Structure 1
């Protein structure tokens, strides 16, 4: 890897800022000053900026409990991005693996590992997502049967894949789906004559949102959790 690229991947510095550091003779490789950004690094080379060793930031894997009124986007739009809640270096390298609507809360997985997130978001992987759904009207047996069989949504050519339903009380259920259509859960409930009042994602695959993680809080995933989508 080129030295200037290594510096950028190991810090918040831009390519131009890295070049200025090099010209100022503030960068050393194996304790020797190097001023050329085109210098090729070997695997064991030790790079320092003003005497402080730097290294490439490895892949990050994060669990976030998304609050309302924030969007799962890399840029602020009408509402702030959930990435504003993540206080890490090079946050702009991160992306959301499976988005939630602005008014939907709960589990969001964030990473900079594209292959890892593909195993969550690709339709071919059929990754399960479980939502806690609070409805406007009572949940009937007929509604449950329809959702478990698959329902037709407006502007869709095919019915949804069968959902898994666990009714918790008259107006609350756990709904598990393997697709990620636009506003899918809300549209599914509308298709059976009901309406979603609150929607909260509790689980992706076998990763479950921590109960003690408040809205807006996050943590790094464990090695075991990361391995689930490798």
Structure 2
């Protein structure tokens, strides 16, 4: 792939804008030697204004989504892309969220431009467990774990019962819910089905991957070891 196209696809600008960057001498190799548009160079050796290029296509990252942000590219409020470098929104292929967390849910969100990985994560066949920490409006009754694990719970307006889910009671109003599927607002609707209301919801884990020390609004690129951990559970 020609360097102009490579850099444009990473969101640094249009091909015309990237060509201008070459003419201005802003694109160099790791030793500071100016590169030209028809040069050949390894991705890892290219610098723009002295900084390494963003990761190539196949990028996957994890984001600690804060409350009040939406998983959308177009929204009048704050969106998750606002937490990333602006050029990430312009990458080709598109950097997409892997599933969604609603505005009022915080926690672990994956984003990738790898279509095969995205489909593998969201596919029901993968049965990739997702763990949610829920704060309830009312005390738990005590029978929720059995109901959720039964595989017979029906959500309103649906015709197929939910797959069995695991509920761990932390205290009277806090619970840890592990799901193997991802229906619309599933965690909130499950608690509503047993007469309670979720006041706060936080996704702490997907598969074998947790947030670690990432604070709300922070993100990091995932490596091969991270992706292996993701599918290890």
SS of residue in 2 equivalent to 1:186: helix
Q: Gaps spanning 5+ residues in structure 2: where?
A: 29-33
Q: Tell me how far apart the structure 1 counterparts of residues 13 and 83 of structure 2 sit (CA, whole Å).
A: 21
Q: How does 1:81-230 map to 2 (within 5 A)?
A: 81-87=79-85, 89-93=87-91, 94-150=95-151, 151-210=153-212, 212-228=213-229
Question: Greater Rg, structure 1 or structure 2?
Answer: 1
Residue 73 of structure 2 corresponds to 74
TM, length-normalised to structure 2 = 0.78
Deviation by residue 1:112-144 (Cα, 9 ceiling, x = unmatched): 222222221122212110000111222123222
CA, structure 1 residues 131+32, in 2 after alignment: closer, same or farther (shift >3 Å)?
closer
Aligned length: 222
Q: Is the 8 A contact 1:71 1:80 kept in 2?
A: yes
Q: Gaps spanning 5+ residues in structure 1: where?
A: none
Q: Tell me how far apart the structure 1 counterparts of residues 124 and 173 of structure 2 sit (CA, whole Å).
A: 29
Residue 31 of structure 2 corresponds to none
TM, length-normalised to structure 1 = 0.79
- My pick for the range that moved more, 194-203 or 141-150, is 141-150
Deviation at 1:4, TM superposition (A): 4.3
Deviation by residue 1:24-55 (Cα, 9 ceiling, x = unmatched): 69799xx9966xxxx8x98879x989998986
- My pick for the range that moved more, 142-151 or 6-15, is 6-15
Residue 61 of structure 1 corresponds to 60
SS of residue in 2 equivalent to 1:176: strand
Q: Tell me how far apart the structure 1 counterparts of residues 184 and 62 of structure 2 sit (CA, whole Å).
A: 22
- My pick for the range that moved more, 200-209 or 78-87, is 78-87
In angstroms, what is the RMSD of aligned CA positions? 3.4
Q: Is the 8 A contact 1:126 1:179 kept in 2?
A: yes
